[in-house]
Amino acid sequence: MGINRVVITGNLTRDPELRSTSGGMSVLKLGVAVNDRRKNQTTGEWEDVPNFVDVTIFGSRGEALSRFLSKGSKVAIEGKLRWSQWENPQGEKRSKLEVIADEVEFLSSRDGGSSGGHSGPSTPAPEIADGEEIPF
Query: For 63-94, how does the pLDDT look when each residue is reduced to its tens digit (9 = 90+)?
Result: 999 999 999 999 999 999 999 999 999 999 99
In which band, very low, low, confident or very high, does the pLDDT at 136 lie, cut at 50, 70 and 90? very low
30 touches 12 (CB < 8 A): yes
Q: From residue 135, give the alpha-carbon distance in Å to each of 27, 80, 115, 127, 129.
A: 21, 25, 16, 9, 11
Q: Is residue 131 part of a domain?
A: no
Q: Is residue 128 part of a domain?
A: no
First vs last C-alpha separation in the chain: 39
Q: Report how far residue 106's alpha carbon sits from residue 120's, in angstroms, rounded to the nearest whole number.
A: 11
Contacts 24+ apart (CB under 8 A), 116-121: none
Q: For residue 128, which amino acid is it?
A: I
User: Strand pairing partners for 104?
Assistant: 77
Over the chain, what is the mean pLDDT? 84
> How many domains are contained in the chain?
1
- Give residue 51's pLDDT: 95
| pTM for the structure as a whole | 0.75
Q: What is the CATH number of the domain that holds 115?
A: 2.40.50.140
Q: Is residue 82 part of a domain?
A: yes
Residue 101: closest CA among 136, 67, 65, 51: 65
Residue 12: domain span: 6-38+46-121
